[in-house]
Amino acid sequence: MIEIKELRKSFGDKHILRGVNLNIKEGEVTTIIGGSGTGKSTLIKCIIRLLEPESGSIVVNGEDITHIKSEMALAKVRRNFGYLFQEGALFDSLTVGENVTFGLKYLTDTPKSEYAKIAKEKLALVGLKDIEHLKPSELSGGMKKRVSLARVLATEPKVILYDEPTSGLDPIMSEIISELILDLKKKLGVTSIVITHDMKSAFEISDTMAMLYEGHVELAAGVKEFKKTKNPYVKQFIEGSSKGPIQMQIRN
Amino acid sequence: MFKSLGRLIIRGLTQIGQASGMVYSCLFWLVKSPLEFNQTMQQTVKIGVESMVVATLTSLFTGMVLALQAGTTMQSILSEPIYIGTLVGFSLVRELGPVLTAFVVAGRAGAAVTAEIGTMRVTEQIDALHTLGTDPIRYLVIPRLIAFTLAIPILTLFANVTGMFGGFLVSVYSLGVPSNTYVEDITTFIGVDDLMHGFIKSIFFAFMIGVVCCYRGLYTRGGAEGVGKSTTKAVVTSMVLILVLDYFLTAILNSLGI
Ligand SMILES: Nc1ncnc2c1ncn2[C@@H]1O[C@H](COP(=O)(O)OP(=O)(O)OP(=O)(O)O)[C@@H](O)[C@H]1O
Ligand SMILES: [Mg+2]
């Protein structure tokens, strides 16, 4: 349902994405792994068109969205997606409750009287309760992340892009979130793209895994095949070994 | 030398282009979507209340010092302090009321708006607005533009009154001008067109401050440091533009006989 071909994106003279090819199938969980700063967030921001790629193409359900310019048309594209921001991006002038229900007004016809109920329900899904009246500044890092996830879930999107949903969470909470992602797939047929550094969770939830390395997709494959790969880059990365073809520049 | 001047001009033009683009988007969304009424009211009250105390103090003391200067000047030229009310009134209503109020609001509420929107930009809250079905122009910029344009002219009228009151205090209690002379000096010589002159200018200042401060906020880059930079830039740009705009508006309004 999402086809990405030869996608390129730079910031100034930093060439981040240098020809990314990836297919995302409807109803599947696709995880994207890769080193810090390789452009994983950049890639999914291109998919939802928070960023405009330089070249290549992104086709969503048959529509080429790569270079759409009009605000109205972009808003329509973004309606297809839910997006969990890496740092949460909660509105700090609003309460937790208002944050969670923020999108309902713009994306759904839900009557205002339902908002409180929906906030409670979605917060419960991510293991939180009785915090609707707090401001984001009063929450811990992991709580912010989960409130942010609740905000995504509130509008019940058909495709969800998760930027590190389990980072900053304890192991048990991570497991709960992983199960939640699987649940959404099974019960509601939600398509998910998940960026993660958590290999355990990645193997648990993925149908397809893709590794981004040096601006391209090094390997994209079903999870079983991915685990057993001989590709030395991917192998080193999923084993988390400091020895191998990927050399981190630590000292100059 | 020429190269860097050229670059400066190009940057200036780019920024004017981007800011005009923002204003255009505002018009677009105003037509296409309902106004965020609550946001707009909230912001108007906030901007008004935030700047009220400073604006009042500024205009009060400006009125007082105007009266003092006018009084001593008149005393040394004509050996009696006459027409103080007229001088104070004219200066305030046509120039200092609108300009100083705009300055105060730019420094107080304008800076706050840039810092708020800038912080939202660098913490991806602006992007979050896009993903939740709305738009920063619609949700943030339009309410603030309207709020500035409502609040500043009202604050200006208020400042005119407190300024004249300040002049009154100094004239009556320090220069010994009879109180009804001071009031008559104002009411006989200052007309509706003078009030309009100041009022029209303040509307333009208000809109400009709104555009500059929202624009600087939206185009913030680079973390907390970036927020600081755009806030400073927003205030400095607003203040310079107030004075530039003031000259041209005065010229235009004068030629129209207002
Ligand atoms: N707005 C921007 N302007 C300039 N450079 C940027 C911008 N956004 C990202 N970059 C750069 O692009 C590169 C990729 O960033 P990105 O956030 O996509 O990495 P990532 O793969 O998500 O990393 P992480 O796992 O640490 O989140 C980084 O080197 C970053 O410095
Ligand atoms: Mg990232």
pLDDT tens digits, residue range B46-88?
A: 999 989 999 999 999 999 999 999 998 888 888 888 888 999 9
Average pLDDT rounded to a whole number, residues B99-107: 95
B176 lies in some domain: yes
CA closest to B132 among chain A residues = A103
Quote the CA–CA distance of B96 and B90 in Å, as a whole number. Answer: 9
What tokens appear for B18 in the block? 């981007």
For A1-80+164-252, CATH gives: 3.40.50.300
Asked if the model's pLDDT at residue B149 lies above 90, the reply is yes
Residue A250 pLDDT: 56
Average pLDDT rounded to a whole number, residues B132-155: 94
Average pLDDT rounded to a whole number, residues A146-158: 94
A192 in helix, strand or coil? Answer: strand
Query: Per-domain residue ranges for chain A?
Result: 1-80+164-252, 91-157
Average pLDDT rounded to a whole number, residues A154-175: 92
Percent of chain B with pLDDT over 70: 100
Average pLDDT rounded to a whole number, residues A65-85: 90
What tokens appear for A121 in the block? 């329900």
Measured between CB atoms, which of B125, B133, B135 is closest to A103? B133
Residue A116 pLDDT: 94
Say whether A81 and B131 touch across the interface (CB within 8 A).
yes
At B182, the amino acid letter reads Y
Percent of chain B with pLDDT over 90: 79
CA B74, B77, B78: angle at the middle one, nearest 5? Answer: 75
Residue corresponding to tokens 């389990």: A166
Ligand nearest to the CA of A36: 1
B89 lies in some domain: yes
Write down the pTM of the prediction: 0.92
Residue among B192, B127, B146 at smallest CA distance from B37: B146
Minimal C-alpha gap between B170 and chain A (Å)? 44
B75 in helix, strand or coil? Answer: helix
What pLDDT, in 10s, does the model give residues B177-234? 999 999 999 988 888 999 999 999 999 999 999 999 999 999 999 999 999 999 999 9
Ligand nearest to the CA of A42: 1
Say whether B131 and A92 touch across the interface (CB within 8 A).
no
B16 lies in some domain: no
Asked if the model's pLDDT at residue A252 lies above 60, the reply is no
Residue A246 pLDDT: 82
Cα–Cα distance list, B210 to A128, A143, B143 (Å): 39, 35, 10
CA closest to A80 among chain B residues = B131
Q: Does B130 touch chain A (CB under 8 A)?
A: yes
Question: Between A and B, how many CB-CB pairs are < 8 A?
Answer: 56
**What atom in ligand 1 is closest to the CA of residue A42?**
18
pLDDT band at A241 (very low <50, low <70, confident <90, very high): confident
Measured between CB atoms, which of A71, A86, A106 is closest to B133? A106
Residue A249 pLDDT: 58
Asked if the model's pLDDT at residue A71 lies above 90, the reply is no
B7 lies in some domain: no
Average pLDDT rounded to a whole number, residues A143-170: 93
Residue A190 pLDDT: 94
To test the pocket of ligand 1, the residue of A11, A13, A198 to mutate (highest count of ligand atoms within 8 Å of its CB) is A11
Q: Does A40 touch chain B (CB under 8 A)?
A: no
B163 lies in some domain: yes
Average pLDDT rounded to a whole number, residues A16-40: 93
Residues of B within 8 A of A106 (CB-CB) are 132-134
Residue among B165, B151, B157 at smallest CA distance from B198: B157
Residue A240 pLDDT: 85
Contact A206, A31 (CB under 8 A): yes
Domain that holds residue B246: 37-255
**What atom in ligand 1 is closest to the CA of residue A12?**
4
Quote the CA–CA distance of A167 and A146 in Å, as a whole number. Answer: 10
Residue among B224, B203, B230, B242 at smallest CA distance from B122: B224
Average pLDDT rounded to a whole number, residues A48-70: 92
Percent of chain B as helix, strand, coil, to the nearest 5: 90, 0, 10
Minimal C-alpha gap between A11 and chain B (Å)? 13
**What atom in ligand 1 is closest to the CA of residue B221?**
1
Quote the CA–CA distance of B180 and B171 in Å, as a whole number. Answer: 11
Say whether A72 and B127 touch across the interface (CB within 8 A).
no
Asked if the model's pLDDT at residue B24 lies above 60, the reply is yes
Backbone angles phi, psi at A159, to 5 degrees: -130, 130
Residue B147 pLDDT: 96
Contact B64, B182 (CB under 8 A): no
Q: Does A71 touch chain B (CB under 8 A)?
A: yes
Q: Looking at the 3D structure of chain B, how many domains does it have?
A: 1
Residue A248 pLDDT: 66
Asked if the model's pLDDT at residue B17 lies above 60, the reply is yes
Asked if the model's pLDDT at residue A247 lies above 80, the reply is no
Residue B241 pLDDT: 96
Question: In this predicted model, which residue has the larger pLDDT, A238 or B151?
Answer: B151
Q: What is the Å distance from ligand 1's center to A216 Cα?
A: 14
| Range of lowest pLDDT (A75-89, A131-145, A230-244) | A230-244
Residue B119 pLDDT: 96
* β-pairing verdict for A208-213 and A216-222: antiparallel
Q: Which of B32, B124, B131, B135 to mutate to test the interface with A (most CBs of A within 10 A)?
A: B131
Residue among B50, B55, B51, B243 at smallest CA distance from B163: B55
Q: pLDDT averaged over chain A?
A: 92
